[in-house]
Structure 1
Amino acid sequence: MTTSHRPAFRANYAQLQAAQKSSKGAPIYSLLVNRPLGRVFAAAAHRLGMTPDQVTVISAVCTFTGIALIALVPPSLPLALAVTVTLVLGYALDAADGQLARLRGGGSLTGEWLDHVIDSFKIATLHLAVLISMYRFFDVAPLWLLVPLLFAAVYVIHFFGMLLTDLLTRNARLRLGLGRETPQAGSSVMSLLKLPTDYGLLCLSFLLLAYPPAFLWFYLLLTVANAGYTLLVIGVWYKRLRNLDAELAAQ
């Protein structure tokens, strides 16, 4: 299909704006920055005739460029800007691929698989890159090197727990004949409270690489906040699945 036969950018953007995902549980950065920026990229990508997988790959290139820079280049203002821009772009494009799939009439199993595999790669390597940077370029006590290791463990646990809970919940609801949960509007207060756990805030935190001591302490704060949130949400997930178990047993 030629460019002249594709919907205009404004039409694509308006269609996406009218068909957004539920804001339930979404942190404020995702709501105010990442999803709107993703809509812009998705509308432009559709106009250019790109596929969701192509957008996913570009997102991965941006993200892994930023991760490589963290591990390989000493902290400085230029590095801080480069890492932040590449990670923010990668995150926005990660939001764009799903929106582009909706514009094209729906996604695919392979597209969802590719998206989650790249997310897993990102989660597994980002904090290890911070660990390498601390070891090579920061004048810190050895105890500080445990912080990115803890953050990496927390991120993997949270990501896997979230995916598994969602999968088991959907399967249980189908067995109960309930279908998908009805999307609900999220609380703005909860969105704000969840900001420390938002990947977008983590992306922006790398601006502090221009002043390494500030980055260290802010990174530690994010580690503690994410660890605390993960412990709390694991309890919520467990109770949700216990309730579904009870409903299944009562059938």
Structure 2
Amino acid sequence: MDVTTRSFTEAVRALGVAQKSNRGAPLYSRLVNRPLGRILAAAAHQVGLSPNQVTGVSACFTFTGIALVAMVPPSPAMAAVIAVLLVIGYGLDSADGQLARLLGRGSPAGEWLDHVCDSLKTATIHLAVVVSLYRFADLPTDLLLVVPLAYSALDTTLFFAFILTERLRKPSGPRLATADSSRPSVLRAMLSAPTDYGILCLVFFTLAWPHVFLVAYGVMLLGTAGYALLALPKWYRDVSRLREGA
């Protein structure tokens, strides 16, 4: 069937077959974000959006949420609005790649645009938290502002290292894969949960209560730091073996 004539239900079904492997994917991405992205990709297909246009819509939701973090006092209602904007933006971030697979239009330019938006999001969301805490939170000490600053540095480094490692492992670029029939590790997915941007989005529901937010946010930071301590040496060893075999 011509992909341009598929109904919403047919598109959702087709996307369910042509999924990226769940191997190594954090639990939120696997259970929530990819299924949400599938629905959003099918809806985007129905209204005739291209994958790059979906990336643009994703950026609008995400950066609106990030701007609100920095600019608006975090009432409970506003915290909910911010979290929902971030969750939808992340769902659309999954949808652009899924739509590209559905249409057979994966391209280096689309991948570049997606990664540039992701890198900007990774850095600015933590800087927005710094601004929000400084402007609106009654912190016992300004030293707590180091927490989001450290998170920004760590998250940016981890994101860049992951992308670079994957690129060096596959010099010709990542391939679009169909669903992996093997069972992915649930334990691995749970251990990588602190690095999952989707869970970070949910933490923003607590932004109206700075002390609760800082505890949840700090736990995410510590979990991400632990993951980095395990992952970065492994990625370095992987890359070293590739160089030795070249």
TM-score normalised by length of structure 2: 0.92
- Give the match for residue 119 of structure 2: 120
Aligned to 1:187: 185
Give the Cα separation in 2 of the matches to 1:142 and 1:212: 13
Unaligned residue ranges in structure 2 (runs of 5+): none
Residues 1-251 of structure 1: pairs in structure 2 closer than 5 A? 6-140=5-139, 141-171=141-171, 185-248=183-246
1:59-118 per-residue CA deviation (whole Å, 9 max, x = no partner) reads 000000100010011121011111100000000000000000011113122111111111
**Which is higher, the Rg of structure 1 or of structure 2?**
1
Q: Which amino acid letter does the alignment assign opposite residue 155 of structure 1?
A: D
C-alpha separation between the residues in 2 aligned to 1:100 and 1:46?
Answer: 7
- Offset from partner CA, 1:94-147 (integer Å, 9 cap, x none): 000000001111312211111111111111210000000011011111110100
Distance 2:70 2:33 in 1: 25
1:185 deviates by 4.2
Contact 2:101 2:176 in 1 (8 A): no
- Structure 1 residues 180 and 78, CA, compared in 2 at 3 Å: closer, same or farther? closer
Work out the CA distance in 2 between the residues paired with 1:83 and 1:15: 32
Name the count of aligned residue pairs.
Answer: 239
Please say if residues 35 and 92 of structure 1, whose CA atoms lie closer than 8 Å, have aligned partners that are also in contact: yes
> Are the structure 2 counterparts of residues 181 and 18 from structure 1 closer, same or farther at C-alpha, using a change threshold of 3 Å?
closer
- Structure-1 separation of matches of 2:158 and 2:177: 21
Q: Runs of at least 4 residues of structure 1 off by over 4 A?
A: 179-185
How far is 1:181 from its partner?
10
2:207 & 2:162 partners in 1: Cα distance? 30
Q: Which amino acid aligns with 1:107?
A: G
CA distance in 2, matches of 1:170, 1:108: 16
Distance 1:49 1:34, change over 3 A: same
Moved more, 207-216 or 37-46: 207-216
AA aligned opposite 1:149: L
- Distance, in Å, in 2 between the alignment partners of 1:92 and 1:129 is 21
SS at 1:74 equivalent: coil
Output the TM-score relative to the length of structure 1.
0.91
How far 1:246 sits from its partner (Å)? 2.6
Name the Cα RMSD after superposition: 1.9
> How far, CA to CA, are the matches of 2:194 and 2:39 in structure 1?
25
Partner amino acid for 1:11?
A: E
Deviates more, 1:96-105 or 1:179-188: 179-188
SS of 1:20's equivalent? Answer: coil
